[in-house]
Amino acid sequence: MIEYLYIEHVCNKDNLHNVIYPDLDHDYYWSDDFSCKFFIVLAKAGFITIGYVNEEVPIILHQLQTHYALLEHKDLHVSHHVKKLLQKNTYHFSTNERFKEVIEKASKKATKIAGYIPPMKRFCMNCTKEVLKDSNL
């Protein structure tokens, strides 16, 4: 059975680390909370989120990514080989460039995919607006 997930379950660090993360038998959860805040909290906690229609009712399925993780910039290790390539100026490594374009194209693709689920389409559009607003672009 797929359990319902509340934002409070994920925001509570004790619950997240002592209940959700250790229970690898349950990596799928569901909710009907289409808020951008919940999506961001879930993403930061290691979940991916997809829209789904269950018996004509739109819901969101959250999957805890047990084999993937977010790599923080401070933890980024650049190998000696890559450092040498970067020093040759053959490649250009950059971060936080063209962010607005990336968000707009991702939103367009997500909206096209989620177009058959109206709450998911609104969710994609609202999150895009919030991300662009918060990024000061």
- What's the average model confidence in pLDDT over 41-49? 87
**Please, where are the H alpha helices in 5-98?**
7-11, 13-15, 36-45, 80-87
Residue with tokens 């959860």: 29
Q: Band of the pLDDT at 53, cuts 50, 70, 90?
A: confident
Nearest-angstrom CA–CA distance, 39 and 32: 11
The answer to whether residues 84 and 104 belong to one domain is yes
Local structure of residue 20 (DSSP, 8 states): I
Q: What is the pLDDT of residue 96?
A: 65
The whole-model pTM stands at 0.59
Report how many domains make up the chain. Answer: 2
On the question of pLDDT at 136 being above 70, the answer is: no
The answer to whether residues 9 and 28 belong to one domain is yes
pLDDT tens per residue, range 103-114: 677 667 665 655
Task: Please state, rounded to an integer, the average pLDDT across all residues of the chain.
Answer: 77
Q: What is the pLDDT of residue 65?
A: 83
The answer to whether residues 66 and 1 belong to one domain is yes
Contact between residue 79 and residue 92 where contact means Cβ atoms under 8 Å apart: no
The answer to whether residues 117 and 88 belong to one domain is yes
Give the domain range for residue 132: 71-137
- What's the average model confidence in pLDDT over 60-72? 74
